């Protein structure tokens, strides 16, 4: 039972850090007017990669240390996936606040930006319309949010599975 309490605390703390980093980076990118810039996208992707890879690994390592050096693979999985899930939910809530309150015209701006990029790439009007219609089905919807959450949790699963396999140490390993 003690391990369960420890893992919940670690999941929540690191998940909040994950969410906080993502919200901060997105607000910074927005404040600097880099929302549709390539550099803004690169910064955002780096922050996501760091959060999805480093935070679960650090949290699993911390849990193992607090658990007298013992860690089973399932615990690592639970911690890593939990952190990414908490962080992703915070990110989704922030996105809804951003597109609903901070920048309610965001999706229109995004559509204009993407239309320009599609035209530059040589797409026809029908192809552009088809792409934008498909995109509109997922923007700000429960389906889009669910798919995003599942994607990030899947990435968290992969990272945690690898980290857990590498860091695993059970009492049976002692004998």
Tell me, yes or no, whether 23 lies in a domain: yes
In angstroms, the CA 152 to CA 48 distance is 10
Residue whose structure tokens are 């901070």 = 102
Tell me, yes or no, whether 118 lies in a domain: no
As a whole number, mean pLDDT of residues 109-126 equals 92
> Structurally, how many domains does the chain consist of?
1
Q: Are 23 and 29 in contact (CB under 8 A)?
A: no
- pLDDT above 50: residue 172: yes
Tell me, yes or no, whether 126 lies in a domain: no
Tell me, yes or no, whether 57 lies in a domain: yes
Tell me, yes or no, whether 115 lies in a domain: no
Range of lowest pLDDT (23-32, 76-85, 138-147) = 138-147
What confidence score (pLDDT) does residue 1 get?
44
As a whole number, mean pLDDT of residues 30-58 equals 96
What confidence score (pLDDT) does residue 60 get?
97
Tell me, yes or no, whether 149 lies in a domain: no
pTM: 0.88
As a whole number, mean pLDDT of residues 107-118 equals 92
What confidence score (pLDDT) does residue 171 get?
76
Tell me, yes or no, whether 129 lies in a domain: no
Q: Which domain holds residue 86?
A: 7-103+156-173
Closest CA to 75 of 154, 8, 152, 155: 8
Tell me, yes or no, whether 30 lies in a domain: yes
In angstroms, the CA 94 to CA 87 distance is 11
């Amino acid at each position: 039972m003690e391990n369960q309490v420890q893992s919940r605390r670690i999941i929540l703390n690191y998940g909040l850090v994950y969410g906080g980093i993502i919200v901060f980076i997105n607000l910074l990118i927005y404040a600097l007017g880099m929302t549709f810039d390539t550099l803004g996208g690169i910064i955002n992707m780096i922050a996501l990669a760091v959060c999805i890879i480093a935070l679960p690994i650090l949290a699993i390592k911390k849990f193992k240390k607090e658990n007298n050096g013992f860690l089973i693979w399932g615990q690592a999985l639970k911690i890593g996936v939990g952190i990414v899930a908490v962080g992703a939910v915070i990110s989704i809530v922030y996105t809804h606040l951003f597109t609903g309150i901070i920048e309610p015209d965001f999706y229109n701006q995004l559509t204009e930006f993407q239309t320009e990029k599609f035209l530059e790439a040589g797409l026809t009007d029908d192809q552009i319309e088809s792409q934008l219609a498909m995109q509109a089905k997922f923007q700000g919807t429960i389906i889009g949010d669910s798919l995003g959450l599942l994607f990030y949790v899947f990435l968290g699963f992969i990272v945690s599975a690898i980290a857990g396999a590498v860091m695993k140490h059970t009492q049976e390993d002692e004998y």
